Structure 1
Amino acid sequence: MESQNYKNHRKFYPPHHFIYLPLLMILEIFGIYKIFNDESHELIWILFSVVVFLIFYLAIMMRQHYALGLQDRMVRLEFKQRYFEIFQLRSDEVESKLTFDQIAALRFTYDDEFKELLYKALHENISGDEIKRSIKKWKADHRRI
């Protein structure tokens, strides 16, 4: 498996991203094409296109909404656990000062860099993307959604 880093850390689900969604896009383009080229059934093709668009939209939103909502909760729990393991303190106050983007970016660090980048996030308010770009030794996460 390829070593994970900033440039390749995004994840795709092939059946969803490369089969189902492209197929829906093709059906949508076909429906729009038929609206203009089959005037005798124009209303049916408009309805077809609207239904395909709604299925497409719902497929994207529902998959993302459930998976990302759960993943966000897990990321916060991981942060709390890790913070406690490193500092032997509750993280409630620290967590409230960080954005979710910063917390999520800190997941990709090992403990020594975690301390350094957490300090920068709290005192210099660096963004999650800046945290990711600052990581010297990337801690891969191959199990995320």
Structure 2
Amino acid sequence: MENQNYKNHIRFYAPHHFVFLPLLIILEGIGIYKVFSDEQHQLVWILFSVVIFLIFYLAIMLRQHYALVLQNRIVRLEFRQRYFEIFGLRSDEVEEKLNFSQIAALRFAYDDEFKIFLEKALKENISGDQIKKSITKWRADFHRV
């Protein structure tokens, strides 16, 4: 495998980037052209254009969904790492007792408050929103999608 560098670090998924999306754009262009040029079947071409647009929109939104799902997995990994760094233990049992909202909210607390809110989340089952509202010294995250 070739070493990665600046010139080759960008990655494309050929079926998606060079086949599927360009094909949808071409089909949408044909549909819009036919709406104005084929008056006899104008309604059919409008429907065709709407369906192609919806497929294109769905393809774009799925990419966003994949990014958010991956980001949520990373948030869980960050929690596991942080828990291990603070307590020196695996977080499996603790993580099972928390919902994602609580795990995500704990990210905004510095270590001293992290311990307090983690305990409250486990014992009192406070919500992620309650955790966020209770944090006095906010640990910002500017990297979320």
Q: Please confirm whether the aligned pair reaches a TM-score higher than 0.5, indicating the same fold.
A: yes
Distance in 2 of aligned mates of 1:93 and 1:40: 62
Tell me which residue corresponds to 2:142.
142
Return the structure number with greater relative CO, CA threshold 8 A, min gap 6.
1
Aligned-residue RMSD, C-alpha: 2.0
Question: Percentage identity across aligned positions?
Answer: 55
Q: CA deviation at 1:115?
A: 0.8
Q: Which runs of 5+ in 1 are unaligned?
A: 1-26
Structure 2 residue identity aligned to 1:115: K
Structure 2 residue identity aligned to 1:52: F
Structure 1 residue identity aligned to 2:44: L
Distance in 2 of aligned mates of 1:123 and 1:64: 33
Tell me which residue corresponds to 1:3.
none
Which of the two has higher C-alpha Rg? 2
Q: CA deviation at 1:131?
A: 1.3
Q: CA deviation at 1:54?
A: 1.8
Tell me which residue corresponds to 1:16.
none
Tell me which residue corresponds to 1:64.
65
Tell me which residue corresponds to 2:16.
none
1:115 aligns with 2:115: yes
Distance in 2 of aligned mates of 1:39 and 1:126: 63
Q: Which runs of 5+ in 2 are unaligned?
A: 1-27
Deviations 1:27-64 (A, max 9, x none): 9xxx8xx8xxx775001001101110121122112222
Tell me which residue corresponds to 2:83.
83
